[in-house]
A and B are shown apart, each in its own frame.
Chain A
Amino acid sequence: MSQPVLRLNGISKHFDMTKALSDMSITLMPGEVHAIVGENGAGKSTMIKIMTGIHQPTSGTIDVDGKARSISGPQAARDAGIAAIYQEPMVFPDLDVAENIFISDNSSGLLVRPAALRNRARALIERIGIKLDPSRIASGLTLAEQQTVEIARALSQDVRVLIMDEPTASLSAHEATLLRKIAKTLAGEGVAVVYISHRLEEIFEISDRVTVIRDGNHISTKLIEDVTSDGMITEMVGREVGNYFAKAAGTATNEIILEVRNLTLDGVFENISFDLHRGEVLCMAGLVGARRTDLALALFGVTPPTSGTIKYKGETTHFTTPRVAIEAGIAYVSEDRRKFGLAMPMAIKSNISLATLSDFLSPLGLLKHAREDKIAHHFTDRLNIRAPDVDTPVSMLSGGNQQKVMLAKWLNLNPELLIFDEPTRGIDIGAKAEVHDLIRTFVADGGAALVVSSDLPEVLAMGDRIFVMREGHQMGILDTANATQETVMILATGQLQEAV
């Protein structure tokens, strides 16, 4: 058996009072894809930061090629052949692909010959097995292409351990497949790939071994053949999560709450037509660039459509601003919490009351603080939001809890139509199941939900019907009962255009 390329021995890491990692041991073999799973806050990122030299362990040792070695900083990690790529790639937007790949390469001296650089870049890109012109400017690349640039950069430095931290979280299914293929290819060349993901089906697809960590502790490391999905989840959360991705019972009624006909926003999407029933969850599937979010924003009044009709509760309406849509009982939970969803530095309670501020005002316009506290406590209990108190700034919460605060803000409006954009992106499995439950409860109580999601298992489990878009066009509406990941993908990639 060959020698491990990297080994952590009993690594602990403390930050002031909190233990982020305790007695963590893990062994990485050359040529394996080693998945690391755990809920948010389990210690995955701390571990990566120790491997890449950003943090120093409080105790414990690190072996590289069987010899003890300290990774004192990012440069030392690079020297040891350890590189990481993240969900948000770090590229220099004004440089081209080749320059980005060789950004920290000093061997060519002061004078850079662009042609030579591009040839070397092309060789690396071919080794990964994709098509990408080395002379393209990075700002024009898709997220997936930027990630391949980062992988090529790592390869240019003779990488031996490549850490991929949730690389597919923001990618469309097609791009994600490509990326997983790259990870496999690299492992085939003898690189140890550390693969971190919340998507379990990915892990079963590509990994050789799986390590589960929870609360900073090593729980298990097993060969993938010896692992079941349920067993892994139980180890991750430390309890049974029975309803994860269980197929929900349909509660759809015959009453049409939203009727969209030939909706068009010039240059963005065209001829979109669908009905949404009370009690129904309609999922919108598609690849990145399918314009699903643009459609959602048009329905919410942010960018009103140029033509077509929207009938809401039987009446033709024109939502010209979000305010009009909100007054009609429509809520939009944005995919981008930071930009559109939450006032990050402000308290949980101030965020929850935000969309319904007039309910919290006395006739003189003064804030009713007691009522604000009460409502905030009501939602932290009901949605199981874990926070020290309701005055805590939302920026201090984990992604899943932030997501629930955002949801609380809109539930307090008592909306009839909830538009939910990527409800579970980047949140852990426990929180995912809770969010799914909340959406199902919401529609069972007489609401209707439009859910934009790139997570196909989620779409199949949660939706009553699936609306598939591709590049601004409606590709078809599927009944979840007889849809599979494959049938959705065939529509989303445009291999078949089905009659509506």
Chain B
Amino acid sequence: MKAALNRLQSWEGFLLCALIFIIFMNANLSPQFLSFSNQINLFQLSIEKVIVALVMTFVIINAEIDLSVGSMMGLSACAFGWMVQGGLPAGLVIVICLGIGIAGGALNGWFIAKVGLPSLVVTLATLIGFRGLARVLVEDRGINDFPEWFDALGQQGFIGSVPFALFAFVILFVALYIILQRSGFGRKTYVIGTNRNVADFAGINTGRHKMIIFIASGLVSAFAGLLYAARVGAVRGDVALGFELDIITIVLLGGVSIFGGSGTLVGTLLAILIVLNLRNGMALVNITGHIQTGVIGLLLIGSVIAPRIDLTRLWRRPSGDNS
């Protein structure tokens, strides 16, 4: 009981309250809000970002950053369009695109883990590089002649009316949750993010660990880029442009420390739900996209300030000793 109370006082507890409040408000504003189709729709519009946010949680807890995820999504989507247009079978192209994700992640990882450059600089460089490559492949024209089954995968229900991408999200969340919160790999992720020296001195191969995380980040981003291509049914050079900022925003809002070492996947999930529901709710009452973005920005500032304010002191004031 006491443990449950303590948990509610955590950042996750605060996010949960905020989420319930937002859902309650939205449901009052519009009767359609709670309908199954609206709930699926709300996920579907940002599904690629929230999938990448899951793996970004690992990157940031590890005290690194990956700015190249948006560009990798774009590169994977554009490479897909380019190769399919060139006549390669789509199934093979998907495998190649995932391979590109692994290679791109390994490139980041090599510079960061083996050479020892800061991830901020390395992934800023690959953000530009991957995007440049994507634009070279498809130039200015859009490509939209994909196989029918591929479009269907992105635009129709996979089982019932639930789309494939949402399944992928749920499965990925469960798998990554077990890895981060229950496995030795997850424990190492936290220790390395807290203090890499301590991890090194305890015999943990911190370089290999970072390499694995950046490869996973590249792979999942490439996968998300393919989902985007399937959902929209077309690709252009600017696919997923600037997505990295939305993704990082969600993760930080979820309570993951930008300095590494703390945060949970549940926090990220709650932040995802809050952002999606908030945007949806604001859309229901005709608040424009720019203002929506501004509100999300304010939320982020709040999430960075909040841990510096001792909420427990505020709440415990009545019973506390005044000395």
Q: Which of B102-110, B195-203, B228-236, B297-305 has 4 or more CB atoms under 8 Å from chain A? A: B195-203
- The 8 Å CB contact of B200, one of A14, A17, A322, A409, is A322
Q: Is the CB of A354 within 8 A of B205?
A: no
Say whether A354 contacts B198, CB under 8 Å: yes
- The residue of chain A having its C-beta at the shortest distance from the C-beta of B194 within the complex is A343
Closest Cβ of chain B to A319, distance in Å, is 11
Docked CA distance A350–B192 (Å) = 13
Task: Output the nearest chain A residue to B205 by Cβ-Cβ distance.
Answer: A323
- Asked if A14 contacts B203 (CB within 8 A), the reply is no
Q: Is B187 an interface residue (CB 8 A)?
A: yes
Within 8 A of B (CB), among A218-238: none
Name the B residues within 8 Å of A321 (CB-CB). 203
Which of A170-178, A254-262, A361-369 touches B? A361-369
Q: Say whether A354 contacts B191, CB under 8 Å.
A: yes
Q: What B residues does A358 contact at CB under 8 A? A: 184
Q: Is the CB of B195 within 8 A of A327?
A: no
Asked if B30 lies at the interface with its beta carbon under 8 angstroms from chain A, I say no
Cβ contact within 8 Å between B183 and A342: no
Residues of A within 8 A of B262 (CB): 345
Q: Which residues of A contact B201 (CB under 8 A)?
A: 300, 302, 322, 332, 334, 340-341
Chain B residues, Cβ within 8 Å of A346: 190-191, 194
Contact of B20 with A by CB under 8 A: no
How far, in whole Å, are A46 and B261 apart by their CA atoms in the complex? 31
Specify which chain B residues have a CB less than 8 angstroms from the CB of A323 in the assembled complex: 203-205
**Contact between chains at A366 and B184 (CB < 8 Å):** yes
Q: In whole angstroms, how far apart are the Cα atoms of A365 and B187 in the complex? A: 11
Given the complex, which residues of B lie within 8 Å of A340, measured CB to CB? 197-198, 201
**A58 lies within 8 A of chain B by Cβ:** yes
Contact B261 A16 (CB under 8 A): no
Judging by beta carbons under 8 Å apart, are A344 and B323 in contact?
Answer: no
Would B183 and A344 count as touching, CB distance under 8 A? Answer: no
Smallest CB gap from A343: residue in B: B194
Mark interface residues in B172-188 (1 if CB within 8 Å of A CB, else 0): 00000010001111111
User: Is B320 located at the chain interface by the 8 A CB criterion?
Assistant: yes
Q: CA–CA, A366 to B190, complex, Å?
A: 15
Q: Which residues of B contact A325 (CB under 8 A)?
A: 203
Judged by a CB distance under 8 angstroms, whether B140 is at the interface is no
B148 contacts the other chain (Cβ, under 8 Å)?
A: no
Check A48 for interface membership: any CB of B closer than 8 A.
Answer: no
B310 at interface by CB-CB < 8 Å: no
Known A-B contacts A345-B261, A345-B262; A409 and B202 likewise in contact (beta carbons under 8 Å)? yes
- The smallest C-beta distance from A45 to any residue of chain B, in angstroms, reads 18
Nearest B residue (CB) for A413: B203
User: How many contacts between A and B, using CB within 8 angstroms?
Assistant: 82
Shortest CB distance A241–B (Å) = 32
* B184, A361: Cβ atoms closer than 8 Å: yes
Residue A239 interfacial (CB < 8 Å) = no
A326 within 8 A of B: yes
Of the listed residues A342, A343, A350, the one surrounded by the most CB atoms of chain B closer than 10 A to its CB is A343
**Chain A residue contacts of B186, Cβ below 8 A:** 367
Answer whether A58 and B203 are a contact pair too, CB < 8 Å, given A358-B184, A365-B183: no
Q: Shortest Cβ distance from A403 into chain B, in angstroms?
A: 15
Contact assessment for A344 and B184 in the assembled complex, using a CB-CB cutoff below 8 Å = no
CA distance A364 to B175 in the complex (A): 13
Say if the beta carbon of A355 comes within 8 Å of chain B.
yes
CA distance A345 to B194 in the complex (A): 8
A340-B201, A345-B194 known; A16+B320 contact, CB < 8 A: yes
Bound form: Cα–Cα A326–B204 in Å: 10
Separation of A323 and B205 alpha carbons in the complex (Å): 8
Establish whether residues A350 and B187, one from each chain, have CB atoms under 8 Å apart when the complex forms.
Answer: yes
A339 interface residue per 8 A CB criterion? yes
A58: B residues at CB distance < 8 A: 323
Q: How far is the CA of A218 from the CA of B300 in the complex (A)?
A: 50
Chain A residues near B184 (CB, 8 Å)? 357-358, 360-361, 365-367
Residue tally, chain A, CB below 8 Å to B: 35
Asked whether, in the complex, the Cβ of A342 is within 8 Å of the Cβ of B320, the reply is no
Measured CB to CB, the closest approach of chain B to A378, in angstroms, equals: 19
Residues of B within 8 A of A343 (CB): 190-191, 194-195, 198-199, 261
* Residues 355 to 392 of chain A near chain B (Cβ within 8 Å): 355, 357-358, 360-361, 364-367
The answer to whether residues A357 and B204 also contact, given A345-B262, A367-B183 and a CB cut-off of 8 A, is yes
Residues of B within 8 A of A360 (CB): 184
Per the bound structure, the CA–CA distance linking A354 and B197 in Å amounts to: 13
**Distance (Å) between the CB of B203 and the closest chain A CB?**
4
Q: A14-B321, A17-B321 are in contact. Are A365 and B185 (CB under 8 A)?
A: yes
Judge whether A355 and B203 touch: CB under 8 Å: yes
Residues of A within 8 A of B194 (CB): 343-346
Q: B301-323, CB under 8 A of A: which get 1 and which 0? A: 00000000000000000001101
Q: Tell me the nearest residue of chain A to B193, going by C-beta.
A: A343
Q: How far is the CB of A301 from chain B (nearest CB, A)?
A: 9
A300: chain B residues within 8 A (beta carbon)? 201
Contacts of B199 on A, CB cut-off 8 Å? Answer: 343, 354
Report how far A354 CA is from B200 CA in the complex, Å: 11
**Cβ B188 vs Cβ A357 within 8 A:** yes
* Chain A residue with Cβ nearest B182: A366
Contacts of A326 in B (CB 8 A): 202-203
Closest to B198 in A: A343
- Measured CB to CB, the closest approach of chain B to A327, in angstroms, equals 7
Residue contact B202 to A355, C-beta cutoff 8 Å: yes
Contact partners of B197 in chain A: CB under 8 A: 339-340
Min CB distance, A300 to chain B, in Å?
Answer: 8
Residues B210-258 near A (CB distance < 8 A): none
Chain A residues within an 8 Å CB radius of B191? 343, 346, 350, 354
Contact yes or no, A367 B203, CB < 8 A: no
Q: How far is the CA of A325 from the CA of B202 in the complex (A)?
A: 10
CB distance from A191 to the nearest CB of B (A): 34
**A16 and B205 contact, CB distance less than 8 A:** no
Distance in Å: Cβ of B3 to nearest Cβ of chain A: 10
Q: Which of B183, B187, B203, B323 contacts A16 (CB 8 A)?
A: B323
Q: Mark A68-92, 1 if CB is under 8 A from B, else 0.
A: 0000000000000000000000000
Contacts of A332 in B (CB 8 A): 201
Q: Which residue of A lies closest to B200 (CB)?
A: A322
Give the nearest-CB partner of A410 in chain B. B202
In the complex, residue of chain A having the shortest beta-carbon distance to the beta carbon of B321: A16
Let me know if B195 and A344 touch, CB within 8 A: yes
The CA-CA distance from A327 to B178 in the complex, in Å, is: 28
Residue of B194, B200, B203, B261 with highest tally of chain A CB at under 10 A: B203
Residues facing B in A86-111 (CB within 8 A) are none
What's the Cα separation between A318 and B263 when bound, in Å?
Answer: 39
What are the residues of chain B within 8 A of A334 when measuring CB–CB?
201
Nearest opposing residue in chain A for B190, CB measure: A346
- Ordered by A's residue number, 5 sampled pairs between the chains whose C-beta atoms are within 8 Å are A334-B201, A345-B194, A354-B191, A354-B202, A360-B184
Beyond A323-B204, A344-B194, A357-B187, 16 extra complex contacts between A and B, CB < 8 Å? A58-B323, A323-B205, A325-B203, A339-B197, A340-B198, A342-B198, A344-B195, A345-B261, A354-B191, A358-B184, A360-B184, A361-B184, A364-B183, A366-B178, A366-B183, A366-B184
Residues in chain A within 8 A of chain B (CB atoms): 14-17, 58, 300, 302, 321-323, 325-327, 332, 334, 339-346, 350, 354-355, 357-358, 360-361, 364-367, 409
4 tightest A-B CB contacts, nearest first: A326-B203, A323-B203, A355-B202, A343-B194
